[in-house]
Amino acid sequence: MALLLLIFFLLLGYAHFRFRRRRMEALAAKIAGPPAWPIIGNAFEFLGSTHDVLSAISRLLRRYQTPTAFWFGPRLYVAVSRPADIEAVLTSPHALEKDPVYRFLEPWLGHGLFTAPVSTWRVNRRLIMPTFNPRNLERFVDVFSAQTQIMVHKLAKEVGRGAFDVFRYVNLCSLDTICETAMGLGVRAQDDNNSDYVRSAERLSQIVAVRIFKAWLHPDWVFNLTSLGRDHARELRYANHMTATVSVPSSNPTRHRERPEDGANCVLSLLQVVQRRRLEHSLRSDDDDDDDDDDDDDDDDDDDDDDDDDDDDDDDDDDDDDDDDDDDDDDDDDDDDDDDDVKDGGASQKVFLDLLLEQTGTRMSDQQLKDETTTMIVAGNDTTATMTSFALLVLAIQRAEQDKVYEELRRIFGDSKRAATSRDLREMQYLELCIKETMRMFPVAPLIGRRLTADVQLEDAVVPAGSSVVVCIQHLHMDPEFFPDPHKFIPERFLPDNKRHPFSYVPFSAGPRNCVGLRYAMLLMKTMVSTVLRHYEISTPLKMADVQLKVDILLKSVRGYPVVLEPRTARNGCS
């Protein structure tokens, strides 16, 4: 009897489940896609390694065209790769929520911009965006150059040793740079000072990627019982801490940056870093308030003396006006110089965390600031390091384009060994074309998932509320309709005269929930690639057809990024 009751209630629950989803299933039936099995849907299509995932999605899109509907367990997904459909999704107010699989990143990233629900994202993005204005970003160029010079020095030991994976060097350089510009901390990753963190970050990416594409690992209670779940918990402990050179908080407002001479290495949680920075910000603010009070007192004293000085002031007015005119001219020149080459402000340089504290005050809690900082470090480091490694690998394959980039650098720098400035980076137009073409062929975010809170109309179909849309960026970027000969590396595609659909190229997503760090990433990539090419000629044993891809959250090369270095000689213009 008990068994019959159990069967009855199971059947009743299943019937209720199907009844609630009848509209979704009816709309899904109008979209081409593979037949689905009960319960598991089309999950078997994605069995295999993360290397097989892109092949599986491309196979579905080729077989059924776009849009393509498939079921991953009980969830409906619709894959799109046409620009008009992608625009409809990425600009829709009903497609701002991230797909539920993004929650697998929350134990690591918290609720930063990348993973936050829309209600949190709307508020925080409005607060964070001003910190990414161009002037703030250009102030970091000296940090970019300094850390890249360290990388170039480290690369010297690879000369004469044959091919090696350049990603490790680029990844550590990017981590040092982002930690310094985000938190003001010298983590010295390039000196192997944070090997546990680096290893844990890489392992966590791999674990999350595997979990995303294995439906049976989606329930937390199942995942936590597996060896992957136990590895995930262990790596999180390392990923939430960093070894950094820190100083004791001081009321001295000029001590903004943690410098090696300020103190010793300490292991800090990222939350502790935020708390220390907030304390220092508070102390500086108090000191500024005291200075303002002193200025007010001085103003009162000056008022008492004004009457006595009026006659003298009248006599000196003409001379002062002439002096002021000269000063104004000098100031204008200084301002122009500042706009062109914003220098690292030394001890007074403000980092992203300082700018966020100024912008938000107490409107963001320590935990929220920690989540945003973690997101900036993890997402910014991995994406920038991966894109830069792809760019170096591609230029090592495409020697003619590498020579063109180098000639551009020779025009900018001549024989000078000076570091790049923000003005120099703006002049690297052909290098930027090469980076854009690299991101077309190897977009680091090949898939974007959005959950729909209401129906979204595509060109030829309606995607129902409650389902998710997968934006297939790599498939889009290889569409010959928009990029003829898509497997060829042609940087000139991105010259201003070449017009195309605005949503045919979306390496950093698009629409209101696009990546806020696009300009930061481009400046850092141009700094790293240009500095490497000024010092070394690069080659590789790989051909373009040899580059195989996998998805470890981001798009990665299965065989790494093997390059061979040869120093630039005096004849070919060593920098």
Which regions of 359-398 does DSSP assign to beta strands (E)?
A: none
**Which amino acid type is present at position 245?**
T
Do 559 and 164 meet the contact criterion of CB atoms below 8 Å apart?
no
Do 389 and 167 meet the contact criterion of CB atoms below 8 Å apart?
yes
User: What is the distance between the alpha carbons of residues 194 and 172, in angstroms, rounded to a whole number?
Assistant: 9
Q: Using the 8-state DSSP alphabet, how is residue 218 labeled?
A: -
Do 46 and 56 meet the contact criterion of CB atoms below 8 Å apart?
yes
Tokens of 218: 């989606």
Q: Please report which helix (H) or strand (E) contains residue 555, including its range.
A: strand 554-557
Beta strand 164-165 with 68-72 is unpaired
Structure-token match 């598991």, residue found = 40
User: What is the distance between the alpha carbons of residues 84 and 80, in angstroms, rounded to a whole number?
Assistant: 9
- Measured CA angle at 254 (ends 248, 258), to 5 deg: 45
Q: Using the 8-state DSSP alphabet, how is residue 161 labeled?
A: S
User: What is the distance between the alpha carbons of residues 501 and 482, in angstroms, rounded to a whole number?
Assistant: 8
Contacts 24+ apart (CB under 8 A), 165-168: 165/560, 165/561, 165/562, 166/389, 166/392, 166/393, 166/561, 166/562, 166/563, 167/385, 167/386, 167/389, 167/560, 167/561
Peptide bond into 484 cis (omega under 30): no
Tell me: is residue 515 an annotated ligand-binding position. yes
| Dihedral of the alpha carbons of 113, 114, 115, 119, in degrees to the nearest 10 | 40
User: What is the distance between the alpha carbons of residues 469 and 42, in angstroms, rounded to a whole number?
Assistant: 15
Tokens of 393: 């690998």
Distant-in-sequence, close-in-space partners of 128: CB < 8 Å, separation ≥ 6? 113, 356, 359, 372, 516
User: What is the distance between the alpha carbons of residues 537 and 350, in angstroms, rounded to a whole number?
Assistant: 35
- Length of the chain counted residue by residue: 575
Tokens of 12: 């009743």
Would residue 165 be called left, alpha or beta, if left means φ above 0 and alpha means ψ between -120 and 50 degrees?
A: beta
Structure-token match 């002031």, residue found = 313
For 432-467, letters b (16+ CB in 10 Å) and e give bbbbbbbbbbbbbbbbbbbbbeebbebeebebbebb
Do 521 and 425 meet the contact criterion of CB atoms below 8 Å apart?
no
Q: Which residues are annotated as a binding site?
A: 515
Q: Which residues are annotated as a binding site for heme?
A: 515
